[in-house]
Amino acid sequence: MTQSTDILVSVSNVSKHFDNRRVLDRVDLTLRAGQIVTLIGPNGSGKTSLVRLVLGLSKADHGTVSRQAGLRVGYMPQRLSVAPILPLTVSRFLALGGVTDQQAHRHQLQAVGAAELIGAPVQALSGGELQRVLLARALLRRPQLLVLDEPTQGVDAQGQSSLYRLIGQIREQTGCGVLMVSHDLHLVMAATDEVVCLNHHVCCSGHPSAVVKAPEYQALFGTESSLAIYAHHHDHNHDVGGDVAADCGHRHE
């Protein structure tokens, strides 16, 4: 299951700065085929920066990011802002990803539960509809790795759990690896194989059942973890450089 050939992307000892602020500090992350990894952490904790490194959209200052040769990545961005003056239907939007076959668009939209949207202008989609269309575009590429940046943004609670179920089904059917950024901790716990808690550095990581027993996790999210509503209580101080000022002893609460 965890042979090295299954490794899609491996991030090791990576650091990244923006304007002298350290956003990522010696981060390790391994993404494998058939595995769902969820990144959690407060706003500004470096989740998006880490995702951009994995996607190859930016480069690390230190450390290495190695990707399997010829890896096909399906990316579902956080949002889409298309000027209203651009006439663009959902079908045409899907075609821009490289797959122009209308029949394939129809099948894929059906699979994500958005079949009726095929002719709709992308600017008219609601939050939940847009997420499904973005997911359809990512899936059309038959990705080996699916990267989802806050896939449930602007989606109501019911829609969120059905979206997570859908992502789980996709993993079952295609065997792709999934990297997901999320805020909805309680929903994510059921749907993920590994949780990585990021706050510039990796605070704790592992299988949800193991992580919930970890003192770091309990310190972060409380002991009644299955009901935990995500809030990052942050008691160690970061200095201006983004370094943890007191050597990270992980007393988060």
Partner 1 sequence: MITTTMWAATWPRTAGIGMSSWLLNALLAGLAIAVVAGPLGSFVVWRRMAYFGDALAHASLLGIGLGLILGLPSGLTVVIVAALVALLLVALQGQRQLASDTLLGIISHGTLSIGVIMVTLVSEQSLPIESYLFGDILSVTEQDVLRLWALSIAALVLITVIWRPLLAATVHEDLARVEGVPVERVRLIFVMLLALMIAMAMKIVGVLLIASLLLIPAAAARRVARTPEQMAVLAAGLSCVAVVLGLGAALRWDLPAGPAVVAAAVMLFVLLFALTSRIMNTNKSY
The footprint of partner 1 (CB under 8 A) covers 52, 55-57, 73, 75, 77, 80, 82-83, 85-89, 92-93, 96-98, 137, 141, 147
| CA dihedral of 24, 139, 186, 165, whole degrees rounded to 10 | -160
Report how far residue 34's alpha carbon sits from residue 89's, in angstroms, rounded to the nearest whole number: 32
Rounded CA gap, 166 and 187, in Å?
A: 13
Minimum distance of partner 1 from residue 53's CB (angstroms) = 12
Tokens of 115: 């079949």
Q: How far is the CB of 153 from partner 1 (least distance, A)?
A: 15
| Residue 104 dihedral angles phi and psi, to the nearest 5° | -65, -40
| Cα-Cα-Cα-Cα dihedral sign, residues 10, 168, 141, 74 | negative
Minimum CB distance to partner 1, residue 194 (Å): 22
- How far apart, in whole angstroms, are the C-alpha atoms of residue 38 and residue 205? 10
Kindly state the smallest distance separating residue 6's Cβ from partner 1, in Å. Answer: 21
Cβ-based nearer residue to partner 1, 92 or 186: 92
Please say which residue, 56 or 175, places its beta carbon nearer to partner 1.
Answer: 56
Question: Is the CB of 141 or the CB of 250 nearer to partner 1?
Answer: 141
Q: Nearer Cβ to partner 1, position 88 or 115?
A: 88
